[in-house]
A and B are shown apart, each in its own frame.
Chain A
Amino acid sequence: MSNTEKQKKVDLSVNVGPLRFRNPVLLASGTVGYGNEIADFIDLSKIGGIVTKSLSLNPRKGNPPQRIVETPSGMLNAIGLANVGVEAFIKDKIPFLKKFDVPLICNIAASSVDEYVECTRILTAEDAITGFEINVSCPNVKEGGLQFGNNPAAVGEITRKVKAVTNKPVIIKLSPNVSYISEFARVVKEEGGDAVSAINTLVGTALDIYSRKPKLFNINGGLSGPAVKPVALAKVLEISRNIDIPIIGIGGIFNWKDAVEFMIAGASAFELGTVNFVDPTTAIKIIEGLEDFCIKQGIKKISELTASYKIDK
Chain B
Amino acid sequence: MFIQNAVVEKSIELENSVYLLKLYCPEIASVIRPGQFLNIKVSETIQPLLRRPFSVCDVEGECFYIMFNVLGEGTQMLKDKKKGELIDVLGPLGNGFSFEGDYEVPVIVAGGLGAAPFPFFLKKIKPGQNPVCFIGGRSQKDVIKYNLKNVHVATDDGSEGFKGNVIELLKENLETLKNKNVKIFACGPNAMLRALKTFIQENDLECDASLESAMACGFGICQGCPIESTHNKDKYMLVCKDGPVFNIRDIVI
Give the B-binding residues of A (Cβ under 8 A): 30-33, 37-38, 40-41, 59, 61-70, 72-75, 77, 79, 82, 225-226, 254, 274, 276-281
Q: Give chain B interface residues in 41-79, CB to chain A under 8 Å.
A: 41, 46-51
**Residues on B with beta carbons closer than 8 Å to the beta carbon of A65:** 213-214, 225-227
B218 to A, closest residue via Cβ: A277
Count of chain A to chain B residue pairs whose CB atoms are closer than 8 Å in the complex: 94
- Known contacts A65-B214, A77-B224, A82-B236; A225 and B49 CB within 8 A of each other: yes
B185 within 8 A of partner (CB): no
User: How many residues of chain B have a CB within 8 Å of chain A?
Assistant: 30
Give the A-binding residues of B (Cβ under 8 A): 1-3, 41, 46-51, 88, 213-217, 219-228, 234-236, 241
A27 to B, closest residue via Cβ: B221
**Residues on B with beta carbons closer than 8 Å to the beta carbon of A279:** 3, 41, 88
CA distance A9 to B234 in the complex (A): 52
CA distance A67 to B213 in the complex (A): 10
Contact call A62/B221, Cβ cutoff below 8 A: no
Partner of A226, one of B41, B49, B219, B226: B49
Partner of A277, one of B1, B3, B221, B235: B221
**Residues on A with beta carbons closer than 8 Å to the beta carbon of B41:** 278-279
Contact call A31/B226, Cβ cutoff below 8 A: no
Partner of B216, one of A37, A61, A68, A73: A68
Interface pairs A-B: 4 shortest CB-CB: A68-B224, A277-B216, A277-B217, A33-B221
CA distance A69 to B47 in the complex (A): 14
Known: A67-B223, A70-B216, A281-B3. 5 other contacts (CB 8 A): A67-B224, A68-B222, A77-B216, A79-B224, A277-B216
CA distance A63 to B49 in the complex (A): 23
Contact call B216/A82, Cβ cutoff below 8 A: no
- Known contacts A37-B221, A67-B224; A75 and B47 CB within 8 A of each other: no
**What are 11 contact pairs spanning A and B, CB under 8 A?**
A33-B223, A59-B235, A61-B235, A61-B236, A65-B213, A70-B49, A72-B47, A73-B46, A73-B47, A77-B222, A225-B49
Contact call A64/B226, Cβ cutoff below 8 A: yes
